[in-house]
Structure 1
């Protein structure tokens, strides 16, 4: 695995981007994202997927090209939660009812082992799952069909079963959406939801599954695009120093990799230069941006400027990313 001291600044900055792309094979633009922007990872969506064989060829080609360019292995990620969020379809095993039907440790473990094995076989090494959001009893929000059943403690326990099972099969788990979006009724793909629940209430409920996952060794967490006004009335969690530095890293002691949710969502109302600066300020490691545009170049350019101004914070972020890639390589089944 590359060491940060052996990498150029462009290579370091690229590690902080996970991006989407167009096409189903190694196109010239995808090569550009790897060899010029030097992205650290990619995410596949339904338009990138024709069949398991095609995905396997694509993943192999991307990893081979990254190696040819002298870069660390790519994170190759997908949203495969089961239920309504499952990018890979048959002949992979489908879990049509998703997390709400995974109400026992055995069911959660079976989902994680099956999904991890099948994703790894076609070349993925990261799943944007499990969802650790908690839906309050008697409440039906935007996440109703995507959350595990039960109390915060039960959600955490079931999430850990999925997380550990995925990683046993060589696929890194990314727990989400910190600090919890189970209480929201608006969709951050379309607007910026506001949540005024006090932090002390969140600490007894929404944060509990994340505490359980962190204690079990969770290595990566995705931040939500929800504005938690009791914590930070200016920025959504994904761009908030109070949420990330104050709660996630400070209060909860998480020292793993942090990433935004998709920066293309309508909940992100600022421009990409501002978003990039906030990512640095908030101590977020990876920007996730899922739809090809010139925003990729804006993020990379602004990250490079910020890395020059704040080299220590940048080095810590890249170090966490490279350490996670080392874990990814070490956990891969033989």
Structure 2
């Protein structure tokens, strides 16, 4: 679709609601052309950031074509990191921050992450996560949440936002109205949440209200089905959830941003273009398209929007209102001239972070008996696309480790001490089976270290770190070596 075939001005307005990603650290020519035609902005992913210099060059290319383009980054300061995609995050992550429960620390982390994002040229952080982690079988939220207590989550969400704002960057809180009580990853399917509005009001919605009170600039919707509110449409495409619950009931006046529309929870049965137009019609202002796009998709979205206007399913006024909201966000918090990492605070003492771990008596005895002489076995299991292939745990510090991906992998036979490290061990059959074999064969010489969200009975968590960032991995190594 071109300007000539769209209703007057509509092509540019539709482009003004789109946030897209692309592969590589060079700005594609077709994206440059779209920026000049009115594209709202870009979203940086791990493979587009590269080194700090490469990232700054890329953002400079973007700015050359559209000075006020939104440059968003999916940086949460923990297991989900884009700015530290190649090395692992130097921050503890939300679950551990929630356990520390020091709002000043959380605010400082928000400030540090915001300052690094600004130094990279970004204007919008796709954070913080306001989901309440009430389901230990959740495959996608887990340690990304500040915890299971909605009031504690609320306090830390507010602190994180204040910190990021003090650095001078806009934030997008996620994933409204709450992705914490799901057992399906919306990247791979459509989760169903069987909670009514009363339950949401005394649980998940508390933290989103806190985000609004703290001045969150944007709110990201979740691709989840809430039959009690809308039995047919995912939250992102539901006027009842976006228009009534978020806008009217909670009074949110900022930008509503969709989670990536290339996720199965959004695109299944309707495609990305269909999901985009339905989301726009439901009240979403800024449409995140994900990281793998091409000119044909943009044409398809514009053509689908035009067809929806002709059919009465979408109005030109709604498109214009969305584009105006997005333009306001483009100038909301201008970035400053910072050096990457310039504003970072002094590292938190390892012993303070380790004090927030869950450490069993068995593990404490193991640490004493091993006396720093042990080997790591790392259980490799599938991770959500949100985390992706980021270095994690002890391996992020180049600590030698035996990588295991099968329940039947050989066990050490030298009679030494072993620490079996994994993420969400209780959710993965092969990981559980290997841990069971190791315990049976090695007895007191082995411990299991859970670096994801532990199961409800801590059955595979002699130590639970509540996060697997590079920083947490370093603290774990120091603890096991008796230095913490």
Question: Once the two structures are superposed, what CA deviation does each residue of 1:35-77 show, in whole Å capped at 9, x if it has no partner?
Answer: 34x310111111112201110111111012114xxxxx11101
Query: 1:206-221 maps to which residues of 2 (within 5 A)?
Result: 206-221=204-219
What is residue 357 of structure 2 aligned with on the other side?
none
1:92, distance to aligned residue in structure 2 (A) = 9.0
What is residue 383 of structure 2 aligned with on the other side?
none
Query: 1:146-165 maps to which residues of 2 (within 5 A)?
Result: 146-149=144-147, 151-165=149-163
Contact 1:307/1:314 (8 A) holds in 2: no
Root mean square deviation of aligned Cα = 2.2
Alpha carbons of structure 1 residues 278 and 158: separation in structure 2 relative to 1, 3 Å = same
Alpha carbons of structure 1 residues 307 and 127: separation in structure 2 relative to 1, 3 Å = farther
Alpha carbons of structure 1 residues 276 and 118: separation in structure 2 relative to 1, 3 Å = closer
Contact 2:262/2:272 (8 A) holds in 1: no
1:298, distance to aligned residue in structure 2 (A) = 1.5
What is residue 203 of structure 2 aligned with on the other side?
205
Worse-superposed segment, 22-31 or 88-97: 88-97
What is residue 299 of structure 1 aligned with on the other side?
301
Q: How far apart, in 1, do the equivalents of 2:95 and 2:124 lie?
A: 22
What is residue 275 of structure 1 aligned with on the other side?
275
What is residue 3 of structure 1 aligned with on the other side?
none
Question: Alignment partner for residue 321 of structure 2, among 316, 324, 332?
Answer: 316
Q: How far apart, in 1, do the equivalents of 2:272 and 2:261 lie?
A: 8
Query: 1:135-146 maps to which residues of 2 (within 5 A)?
Result: 135-136=133-134, 139-142=136-139, 143-146=141-144
Question: Once the two structures are superposed, what CA deviation does each residue of 1:199-235 show, in whole Å capped at 9, x if it has no partner?
Answer: 1101110000011111222220000001111111111
What is residue 39 of structure 1 aligned with on the other side?
39
Contact 1:129/1:173 (8 A) holds in 2: yes
1:91, distance to aligned residue in structure 2 (A) = 9.5
Q: How far apart, in 2, do the equivalents of 1:193 and 1:202 lie?
A: 16
Q: How far apart, in 2, do the equivalents of 1:187 and 1:323 lie?
A: 32
Contact 1:134/1:205 (8 A) holds in 2: yes
1:113, distance to aligned residue in structure 2 (A) = 1.0
1:30, distance to aligned residue in structure 2 (A) = 2.6
Residue 11, structure 1, aligned to residue 12, structure 2: yes
Q: TM-score, normalised by structure 1?
A: 0.89
Contact 2:190/2:264 (8 A) holds in 1: yes
Contact 1:280/1:306 (8 A) holds in 2: no
Alpha carbons of structure 1 residues 127 and 231: separation in structure 2 relative to 1, 3 Å = same
Q: TM-score, normalised by structure 2?
A: 0.62
What is residue 194 of structure 2 aligned with on the other side?
196
- SS of 2:332's partner is helix
**Unmatched segments (≥5 aa) in structure 1:** 1-6, 68-72
What is residue 97 of structure 2 aligned with on the other side?
102
Q: How far apart, in 1, do the equivalents of 2:186 and 2:30 lie?
A: 28
Question: Once the two structures are superposed, what CA deviation does each residue of 1:267-302 show, in whole Å capped at 9, x if it has no partner?
Answer: 121123432331232111111111214322222333
Contact 2:138/2:180 (8 A) holds in 1: yes
**Unmatched segments (≥5 aa) in structure 2:** 1-7, 338-484
Contact 2:75/2:81 (8 A) holds in 1: yes
**Aligned pair count?**
319
Q: How far apart, in 1, do the equivalents of 2:106 and 2:309 lie?
A: 40
Pick the structure with greater CA Rg.
2
Query: 1:1-334 maps to which residues of 2 (within 5 A)?
Result: 8-36=9-37, 38-67=38-67, 73-89=68-84, 94-103=89-98, 104-136=102-134, 139-142=136-139, 143-149=141-147, 151-268=149-266, 269=268, 270-290=270-290, 291-293=292-294, 294-304=296-306, 306=308, 310-329=315-334, 332-333=335-336
